[in-house]
A and B are shown apart, each in its own frame.
Chain A
Amino acid sequence: MARCWRNRFRDAWCDMSNRVSNEIKGNTKKTGRGPKAIIFACRWCALIGADGAGKNRVQLPLNFRVIPVECAARVEPDSIIRAFSYGIDGVGVLGCHLGGCRYHNANHRALKRLDLLRKLLDTVGIGSGRLLTSFGTAHEYHQFAAILNEFFQGLREFPPIDEWARAQMTDAGKG
Chain B
Amino acid sequence: MNIREDARRAARKVLEQGKAQGVLGLREAGDGVSPHLFEDPGDIDSLVVEPKWLLAKLATGILKDLPDDYRLAVMCRGCDERAIVELIKRNQLDGAKIHVIGLACSQEQARACLCTRPYPSEVAAGDVVEGVDPFQDERARTFLEGDQRERMIRWATELKRCVKCYGCRNSCPICVCVPCKLEDDLWVGRGEIPADLISFHLIRAFHLSDTCVACGACQDACPENIPLMLLQISMRAFLMQEYGYEAGTDRERRSPMLSDLTKEPSPGYEIPGWVDSLKDSV
Which residues in A have some Cβ–Cβ distance to B below 8 Å? 1-4, 6-7, 14, 17-18, 21, 77-78, 81-82, 84-85, 97-99, 105, 108-109, 111-113, 115-128, 131-138, 147, 150-151, 154, 159, 163-165, 167, 169, 171
Interface string of B247-278 (1 = CB under 8 A from A): 00000000011111110000000011111111
Q: How far is the CA of A25 from the CA of B166 in the complex (A)?
A: 26
Partner of A169, one of B90, B156, B230, B260: B156
B179 CB-CB contact with A under 8 Å: yes
Query: Which B residues between 81 and 106 are near A, CB-CB below 8 angstroms?
Result: 90-93
Q: Does B139 contact A (CB under 8 A)?
A: no
Contact B231 A120 (CB under 8 A): yes
By the criterion CB–CB under 8 Å, are B177 and A4 in contact?
Answer: yes
Tell me whether A115 and B206 are in contact (CB under 8 A): no
Is B33 part of the binding interface, using a Cβ–Cβ cutoff of 8 Å?
A: no
B134-178: which have CB < 8 Å to A?
Answer: 143-144, 148-157, 159-160, 176-178
Q: Tell me if B178 and A82 are in contact (CB < 8 A).
A: no
Contact across chains for A164 and B197 when beta carbons are under 8 A apart: yes
Chain B residues with CB below 8 A from A14, complex form: 186
* B178 adjacent to A7 (CB under 8 Å): yes
Q: Roughly how many angstroms separate A4 CA and B153 CA in the complex, as a whole number?
A: 34
Q: Which of A99, A115, A127 contacts B238 (CB 8 A)?
A: A115
Contact check: which of B93, B144, B198, B262 meets A84 at CB < 8 Å?
B198
Min distance, Cβ A87 to any Cβ of chain B, angstroms: 10
Asked if B80 is at the interface (CB within 8 A of a chain A CB), the reply is no
Q: How far is the CB of B62 from chain A (nearest CB, A)?
A: 12
Q: Bound complex: CA of A166 vs CA of B257, how far in Å?
A: 31
Q: Could you say which of B154, B177, B181, B278 contacts A3, with CB atoms under 8 Å apart?
A: B177
Q: Are A108 and B261 closer than 8 Å at their CB atoms?
A: yes
Given A85-B196, A165-B198, the answer on whether A124 and B257 have CB atoms closer than 8 Å is: no
Contact between B278 and A2 (Cβ–Cβ < 8 Å)? no
Q: Is the CB of B186 within 8 A of A18?
A: yes
Contact A111 B275 (CB under 8 A): yes
Decide if A125 touches B186 in the complex (CB within 8 Å): no
Is B152 a contact partner of A116 (Cβ separation < 8 A)? no
**Which residues from chain B contact A128 at a C-beta distance below 8 Å?**
277, 282
- When distances are taken between beta carbons in the complex, the residues of chain B under 8 Å from A81 are 198-199, 202-203, 206
Q: Is B209 an interface residue (CB 8 A)?
A: yes
Q: Are B234 and A120 in contact (CB under 8 A)?
A: yes
Contacts of A98 in B (CB 8 A): 261, 271-275
A111: chain B residues within 8 A (beta carbon): 261, 275
A108 touches B157 (CB 8 A): no
User: Closest residue to B238 on the A side, CB-wise?
Assistant: A119
